[in-house]
Structure 1
């Protein structure tokens, strides 16, 4: 009897110890707020603890005994079952992150899946929604900061570029003014000079007519200076000088038109004057390129004249560079047969818009480059050849400053067309 009593007493102590362990384990489960699941190789729920966890997809009574495919979204169950099978196959703990819709909100979990024997796994899942939200906030802040830095960098570069263009405009205007004064002085004196020379030539003819030039000394000088040749060539020389000064005056006018880049007001302007002045400025680079102008009858355009000139010079320089790149890849015979061409066409569209097309037969661009050409700092030119801002600034001038459209169409090896459309009235 004593032995039986001892066994009973030992059994009671063992049972009490197990109950205490279960209570401690349950308290531990409730304290850590993690979800612990035991599943078999088929993904069937065997045990769930704690039973009152707020982050459970469904109450344990609706889950225990069922497979994951019966409880969870099908695609999610497929992925989780693969992880279970991987764990059982490798006997290594697998960690995953996943989300589930619980109580009208998306809850994120971080789970560790460990093998329990040959056909069971234990899953410890922790709610990491707060961490995920914080990560998302930090990621968004990082993206916002990166975007802000890019905008600041772009703004700084644009300000520098605009300041350079403004300085260039002032320089061009100053040079044009300084050239204009002496050229006007020379040009203004050519007509009187021509009249004076004509008078002197008539006087010389009278001397010859009445034999006053028969003196040996005078006759010797006439032969020495070749008077007949002077009489024939001098008018041609004066005419050539007149044409030259007219040409210089046209160049000065183009420089003054182009120097509008420092103007900051909307004005009604003849857009053809801006295009022609830009072509004149770039004439030194257009010597081996055929320029075709197909101008329509346009009304005066309300715009920032200087900024429009900036767009024209950016697009035309881009076209010239594309033609030069094509020449570098061709043989001499090919260059001769396919001379560089730039066509500038203007039209009125729907009586409300002006359309300007600048077309070249340069090297062209593929789709990937076309998608990025308007992005700030994107360039295909060698280092030091381009900043990658010309097209981006032009795009902003047309779309943001003038409410217009700026489009690019290109084919490799065939050429590129830039289309600018601007409302006539702002």
Structure 2
């Protein structure tokens, strides 16, 4: 082989060697890059593993901390997983439950009930809530289980101990029953207080009627003896007419009995008795108008007639007494249509307000400069379809703290035994609830008090 050829082959070998070196260097560089990537992936994997372990530890801590029981069950009700294993309300330890069906470890009736719920969840794919109780240890524990679909044939169940809640609910039911009994007792007490208030008002009414009727009855009774004497004398004269010597005997009798006086006095007696009987009839009519006992339903009535009837019943209390002058009543009646109301109940309101006003005016210590005791009653039309009745007195008035309590049940400023404390409370109920109206009190200390009633014309 010539030297020239040998040198060419050597050069070619050198060239191939250089190319091989470049390839090896490239492969080494690529290998280094791959190793670096693997090292990075390994590092990231280790970091992920650390995070997963931390998450697992955190999740395990959460499972161990919660008191709820978490179960994974299949279509047959087989226990696939149980967490946490230390839950105090587990029916049995996990080792005795895992891999077994509910029918193998639980009472048959309960297993049927729970498995029906599992099948319903798997069929509808909807969450189902179940409540049940199981004997755990030496006591009965109530559970509330939330069953949700997990896969095609498995469900997850979270069972929570609700024994405390059941106990609280039982206590609440017992308390509710006690409260219902208390409410019934309060209703009975309220009915008794209403009856007591009615009897109190009835007592005032009877006293007023008795006082008012007493005067004309006494007047009639007093005149009866005179009338009887006059009639006896007249009968004697009539008896003498068939007898002889009539003229002489009549003349003697005329001088004895004063026939002229009888002729003058007898018509006066009869007229006075007629006035007395008319007065009694008027009182009885006012009593009937006030009580309205035969009217239980709404009826269109004249409000002014009800007020006047109430004033007639209270007339004896308005008259002059030794400790005070007569109480004046000023009526400022507007033109009102007939009002649909419960007449008897509304008259009861008028009675309560007017009686209280009279009480205030009687209790007030009158001085020389004190105004004449007066009650002012005003009526008027207000907003469309409404009427207003204002009853005011010029007594001593009420401080603000008393005004705030005036409609409260059992509140009274009267001495013990003088009031039930229910009059204004009942009045407020009658106006606001029975008539869908308003009852307000406005009072200024030293000037007086005004009660304002507003009710719709039509109910």
Matches within 5 A, 1:295-334: 295-327=333-365, 330-331=366-367, 333-334=368-369
Structure 1 position 421 matched with structure 2 position 459: no
Partner secondary structure for residue 215 of structure 1: helix
Contact kept? 2:194, 2:422, Cα under 8 Å: no
Contact kept? 1:213, 1:219, Cα under 8 Å: no
Residue 350 to residue 264, structure 1, CA distance change in 2 (3 Å):
same
Work out the CA distance in 2 between the residues paired with 1:322 and 1:365.
10
Deviation at 1:413, TM superposition (A): 2.0
Partner secondary structure for residue 285 of structure 2: helix
Deviation at 1:313, TM superposition (A): 0.8
Matches within 5 A, 1:159-178: 159-163=191-195, 165=198
Work out the CA distance in 2 between the residues paired with 1:378 and 1:215.
79
Could you report, residue by residue, the CA deviation over 1:320-357 in whole angstroms, capped at 9, with x for unpaired residues? 11111213xx34x35xx533211111112234111111
Deviation at 1:299, TM superposition (A): 1.0
Contact kept? 2:298, 2:342, Cα under 8 Å: yes
Partner secondary structure for residue 274 of structure 1: helix
| Higher gyration radius (CA) | 2
Structure 1 position 274 matched with structure 2 position 274: no
Q: 1:249 — aligned with what? A: 281
The count of aligned residue pairs is 264
Work out the CA distance in 2 between the residues paired with 1:295 and 1:146.
51
Work out the CA distance in 1 between the residues paired with 2:177 and 2:387.
39
Q: 2:424 — aligned with what? A: 391
RMSD, matched Cα: 4.4
Deviation at 1:267, TM superposition (A): 0.9
Contact kept? 2:306, 2:343, Cα under 8 Å: yes
Deviation at 1:425, TM superposition (A): 0.4
Structure 1 position 411 matched with structure 2 position 444: yes
Deviation at 1:168, TM superposition (A): 7.7
Q: 1:36 — aligned with what? A: none
Work out the CA distance in 2 between the residues paired with 1:289 and 1:156.
38
Normalising by structure 2, we get a TM-score of 0.49
Deviation at 1:254, TM superposition (A): 0.8
Could you report, residue by residue, the CA deviation over 1:53-104 in whole angstroms, capped at 9, with x for unpaired residues? xxxxxxxxxxxxxxxxxxxxxxxxxxxxxxxxxxxxxxxxxxxxxxxxxxxx
Identify unmatched segments of 5+ residues in structure 2: 1-60, 66-164, 221-226, 320-325
Q: 2:269 — aligned with what? A: 237
Deviation at 1:384, TM superposition (A): 1.1
Contact kept? 1:344, 1:357, Cα under 8 Å: yes
Residue 158 to residue 315, structure 1, CA distance change in 2 (3 Å):
farther
Residue 162 to residue 375, structure 1, CA distance change in 2 (3 Å):
closer
Matches within 5 A, 1:57-136: none
Residue 272 to residue 149, structure 1, CA distance change in 2 (3 Å):
farther
Matches within 5 A, 1:5-44: none
Contact kept? 2:407, 2:424, Cα under 8 Å: yes
Deviation at 1:214, TM superposition (A): 8.9
